[in-house]
Amino acid sequence: MLYSPLLTTVFEALKALAKVPMLSIVKATLTVAKSENMKRILLMGIKFTMQSTFYQENSKLLGMEVIAPSIQEQDEINNIIFNELVIGLFKPESRLKLLHIINSYEIDGVILGCTELPLILEQKDTKVKLLDTVEIHVEAAFNYYLSL
């Protein structure tokens, strides 16, 4: 399993070379979103992830739209991740900022595309469905290995 937005950009090339099965975190996440009838999904993560197109390109193939927050919101999210969450700082005002961003969009779900975001955002905080990519990826791997 690879959990890295950087590696996602070269996932297909790595998969072709790998001697072991590989599961895409992007495809696993979008499969869950599709199964929950999501049409429009907000992508949150580090700036690199939000500005990349791997979620958008794959979502179109499934009839869904993945959108990124505004550039200003991306800066806010990125700052919260790197200046707070990665050092174990969980500010209530930052949680509220993230929830405000989520609630400002007409969306069916949010991709939490960074390992730190589920540490500050919980499903009980919002009516919008949160897609924890790490949890989804681990579950997909578990189900894959059970099917062998």
CATH topology of domain 34-146: Rossmann fold (3.40.50)
Per-residue 3-state assignment (H helix, E strand, C coil) for 14-64: HHHHCCCCCCCHHHHHHHHHHHCCCCEEEEECCHHHHHCCHHHHHHHHCCC
**H/E element, 99:** helix 92-103
Q: For the whole model, what pTM was predicted?
A: 0.88
Q: What is the pLDDT along the chain (148 residues), one digit of tens a residue?
A: 555 555 555 656 666 666 667 788 899 999 999 999 999 999 999 999 999 998 999 999 999 999 999 999 999 999 999 999 999 999 999 999 999 999 999 999 999 999 999 999 999 999 999 999 999 999 998 998 888 8
> What are the extents of the domains in the chain?
34-146
